[in-house]
Structure 1
Amino acid sequence: MTARLFNRVRSTLQPTDHPYLNGAWSPVFEEWTDDDCPVVGEIPRDLDGVYLRNTENPVHEPLGKYHPFDGDGMLCAMRFRSGRASFRNRFIRTRGFISEQEAGRALWSGIAEVPPKSERPGWGAQGSLKDSSSTDVCVHGGRALTSFYQCGELYATDPVTLDQYGAVGWGGEFPREGVSAHCMPDAATGELLWFNYSREAPFMRCGAVSRSGDPLEAVDVALPGPRLPHAMEFTERFYILNDFPLFWDAELMTRNIFAARLHDLPSRFALVPRRGRAGGIRWFEASPTYVLHWTNAREEGDEVILDGYRQQHPMPPPLHGAPKKYAQLMAYVDLQSLKPQLWRWRFNLRTGQTHEECLDDTVCEFGTINPRAHNRANRYVYSTTGEPGWFLSDGLVKHDLLTGKRETVPFGPGVFGSETPFIQRAGTQTEDDGWLVTYVSDMNRNVSECWIYAAQNLAVGPIAKVRMPLRIPSGTHACWADASELH
């Protein structure tokens, strides 16, 4: 037996009927190390790198209502090398996590509690939340960086050992508003691109740091008021930011109530020139919607082309059939209620016009592509499908944007997965010649595994299933880092 218990974190959670504190979302409090995980099937010997996923995992009894995005960050790392796999999971020791461990209870309420009940000043765009660093993860400059969706600090971790280095400082110039989740490493330049948003003018900023964490620029992006963007994209010349009509109600904010509503406004996109580029910010309008995540962006002639998941119903009605006290919460995180579809926006730099089109009507989200196709015309997109009524991934869908073909692969009843990065096979030029990796929780057996698929042959199922020493709760974002990126 190679697995060993590293640590057990103190918890005060009590039994509850909350849908996101049970089932596949049941939290765990143990940190494990397994240097030689059991495998069913065969791990490709040239699969060399680490698969990282961040997870919302609450430790203490909630201070008020609980939302699945409130949980403490837990980073899970599966390292592949020479046909073998090792695993670690560790809570992210944010300032909020440490303070609550010292107090032995929750000190901050979450986004569903209005007005907030937080006992101490908080972080985030609304200023009262705990920065749990539980949303996203990327690897930049040899370190894994975890982040929080409503803005906070970036916490640095060794991507293999999960040794923790605390919050990054960027030479004392880390933005006082924090940064949002979905910072983006630019493989071409080595830069890390970031953005943030807040309740104070100019309401949004973006910028870049070098591979070693030296600030390169910070740009103000003026908005009419506070907004709630979630992710950014970029091309060689531009940051691409957004101003969607789903944002906090201004009148309620005066009473310290942070409740979003859909306003009668168009969607707006900002093309912000990157460092050293001439020209001002260009704004483009499009049909009203909300978008959580993007898949790619590129420049083509006079156009900037952006692909992502456009929601048909950004403010859905309460989920039919759900317990009344949880019905609205469950609708807001249910893909079948929001109905995001793969969409394309074309921004014409010469005319200032926007053209948009639906690429496929499948309800899906959390897309990845071959990273070597970023900023180019990618052919394939790999997305997750959603378990109806739940914020759970129940399968994968591969879109061929050239032919319009799609291939959907379910995980199976009671099995739920994660965001699924693509890893290209060494030495090949074929865009889909490689692997997809995902963590799954099989609730039929109460176990978690890391599944590896051959991207050109999804229908055969996983070519390898790597057993983890504990069942981990469902989570959101993940990334892959090749061995060359780990130092």
Structure 2
Amino acid sequence: MVHVVGFRDGKAFYRNRFVRTDGLLAEQEAGQSLWAGLAEPPYLALREDGWGARRQMKDASSTDVVVHRGTALTSFYQCGDLYRLDPMSAETLGKVTWNGRFPVDWGVSAHPKVDDRTGELLFFNYSKDAPYMHYGVVDEADDLVHYVDVPLPGPRLPHDMAFTENYVVLGDFPLFWEPEALAKGAHVARFHREMPSRFAVVPRRGQTSDIRWFEADPTYVLHFVNAYEDGDEIVLDGFFQGDPEPQDNGMGNRWERAFRFLALDRMQARLHRWRLDLRTGLVKEEPLSESITEFGMMNGAYAGGKYRYAYAATGKPAWFLFDGLVKHDLHTGSEERYSFGENVFGSETAMAPRVGCTGEDDGYLVTLTTDMNADASYCVVFDAARVADGPVCKLRLPERISSGTHSTWAPGLELRRWSTAETAADAIDL
């Protein structure tokens, strides 16, 4: 389900819709589940076809959302179709085709990146088949204009990417499906501590032969915040996991054991910086914070360039639930915090620059919270420059919603129909 909150003329409007994927429509018609769930073996699926890098999965298109050319695009974390949504109504408009060049056999991973300066959509995909990864570029006219192999040693499980003015950065991390189990049809992810992390640096319109690989300390990076060029170096910021494969020590209930691969404290996720030296091929890395945070967001106008602030989530210990915000100042190392309160959980927090803004943090942070005490959900707005002061606006949603993960922000002028759309019927006075 996608949730849309819009702000216009002193009012806010809210809508939600399910993404009408082919898999959802097929199961609705059948009246039952046709594909196995994430934690179930694929052989339990009633249908042998499917989507995703491991196949035999339903394409939920439920992981990430971006806005490209005025249309919202949703994606699936293990690769699949991209679905087009009306950003005003959240109605599904169909699948992306890129004028017949969409890589149907491989799909697209979650976290494609939109470069607002060029209008390009940058993406990657991966699978169990060689070369195991591709990188592509869709231009501002919605044409797939670049698509190249990124050969890997075997099947991997990348999740995110980053870009600079002239390059993209892709990851090859030592957390991947165990080859012996994979040969038997089982998908068991293991962390290989003896192997380095690797970063592929690719010119934005480069070929396979232009790829340069950089080795770093072993970890897994679920999400990057940003990357930029600094002289001969590429500066890459993301969340270093101190323990990508938390062990089940028999402690806690079954939900805590299940969530150990996503709980921020179990993964030991901390903001981290890698410097990739294009002259020497060496990597220097350093922690940027001792705080456990993840799901970092920033002012999108600074994406791919030098920036100062990252807005990240804190997590309830042992659970995949966000219980607060941290504003990381990457120049001073200081942090500003806000806790949502006991049994109140948020989503990834989007940064909305103020119209006519004069600085990087001149704007608002927007998130959706779920208050389990009041059985209610809210859209909560913060002044990005003063996070610790608490919300400047809090809007109650019509129903309690489940806590979510990824989000995006787009100014109204970038959205189709913004200038003509009628929103008063769903508006809430601010």
* TM tier relative to shorter chain: over 0.9
The residue aligned with 2:426 is none
Shift of residue 376, structure 1, vs aligned partner: 2.1
Out of 61, 71, 82, the residue aligned to residue 154 of structure 1 is: 82
- Any conservation in 2 of the 1:307–1:344 contact (CA below 8 Å)? yes
Contact kept? 1:150, 1:180, Cα under 8 Å: yes
Shift of 1:161: 1.3
- Identify unmatched segments of 5+ residues in structure 1: 1-73
Which of 51, 66, 82 aligns to 2:9? It is 82
Quick check: 2:19–2:91 contact (8 Å CA) kept in 1? Answer: no
CA deviation after TM superposition for structure 1 residue 230, in Å:
0.3
* Correspondent of 1:131 among 47, 59, 62: 59
How far 1:206 sits from its partner (Å)?
Answer: 0.7
> How far apart are 1:429 and its partner, in Å?
2.1
Matched, 1:92 2:53: no
* Aligned residues of 1:273 and 1:281 also touching (Cα < 8 A): yes
Q: 2 CA distance for matches of 1:267 and 1:146? A: 28
Indicate conservation of the 8 Å contact 2:202/2:211, yes or no.
yes
SS at 1:478 equivalent: coil
Of 399-408 and 149-158, deviating more is 399-408
Query: How big is the shift at 1:321?
Result: 3.7
Distance 1:447 1:430 in 2: 34
State which drifts further: 105-114 or 217-226: 105-114
Correspondence for 1:430 = 359
1:292 counterpart residue number: 222
Equivalent position of 2:243 in the other structure: 313
Deviation at residue 279 of structure 1 after TM alignment? 6.5
Matched, 1:336 2:300: no
Mean Cα deviation higher: 207-216 or 473-482: 207-216
CA distance in 1, matches of 2:249, 2:18: 32
Are the equivalent residues in 2 in contact too, given 1:318–1:327 (CA < 8 A)? no
Match of 1:348 among 240, 265, 277: 277
State the partner residue of 1:475: 404
Offset at 1:116?
Answer: 3.7
Secondary structure of the corresponding residue to residue 463 of structure 1: strand
Distance 1:464 1:130, change over 3 A: same
In structure 2, what is the equivalent of residue 233 of structure 1?
Answer: 162
Q: For the Cα contact (< 8 Å) 2:165–2:305, is it kept in 1?
A: no
Q: 3-state SS of the aligned residue for 1:329?
A: helix
Whole-angstrom distance in 2 between the partners of 1:295 and 1:403:
17
Alpha carbons of structure 1 residues 327 and 277: separation in structure 2 relative to 1, 3 Å: closer
Q: Which residue of 2 aligns with 1:10?
A: none
Name the counterpart of 2:422: none
Counterpart code for 1:242 = G
Give 3-state SS (helix, strand or coil) of 2:44's partner.
coil
Pairing 1:365-444 to 2, within 5 Å after superposition: 365-444=294-373
In structure 1, distance between residues paired with 2:18 and 2:387: 33
Aligned length: 413
Look up the SS of the partner of 2:195 in the other structure: coil
Q: Which amino acid aligns with 2:10?
A: G
Out of 455, 462, 481, the position equivalent to 2:384 is: 455
- Return the offset for 1:172: 1.1
1:378-430 deviations in whole A, cap 9, x for unaligned? 11110000011110000000111111111111001111001001112222322
Query: How big is the shift at 1:163?
Result: 2.3
CA contact (8 A) 2:382 2:390 kept: yes
Structure 2: distance between partners of 1:360 and 1:409? 16
TM-score (norm 2): 0.94
Residue deviations 1:238-268 (CA, integer Å, cap 9, x gap)? 1110100000011111111000001221000
Distance 1:236 1:228 in 2: 26
Please report how far the alpha carbon of residue 278 of structure 1 lies from its aligned counterpart in structure 2 after TM superposition. 11
Distance 1:148 1:414, change over 3 A: same
1:29 matched residue in structure 2: none
Higher relative contact order (CA 8 A, sep 6+): 1
- C-alpha displacement at 1:289, in angstroms? 0.3
- Could you list the per-position Cα deviations for residues 423-469 of structure 1 after superposition, in whole angstroms to 9, with x for gaps in the alignment? 12222322112110000001111111100001122222111111111
Q: 1:319 to 1:378 in 2, by over 3 A?
A: farther
Question: In the alignment, is the contact (CA less than 8 A) between 1:319 and 1:327 conserved in 2?
Answer: no
Which residue in 1 is equivalent to 2:68? 140
Higher mean alpha-carbon deviation, 375-384 vs 189-198, is at 375-384
Does the Cα contact within 8 Å between 2:42 and 2:57 map onto a contact in 1?
no
Contact 2:35–2:42 under 8 Å retained in 1: no
Cα distance in 2, alignment partners of residues 453 and 360 from structure 1: 22
The answer for the alignment partner of 1:167 in structure 2 is: 95
Contact 1:295 / 1:307 at 8 angstroms: preserved in 2? yes
Q: In the aligned structure 2, how far is the partner of 1:422 from the partner of 1:319?
A: 38
What amino acid maps onto 1:299 in structure 2?
E
| CA deviation string 1:88-129 (max 9, x = no partner) | 100010000001111111111123113541111110000111
Could you tell me how far apart the structure 2 residues matched to 1:277 and 1:190 are?
21
SS in 2 for 1:449: strand
3-state SS of paired residue (2:4) = strand
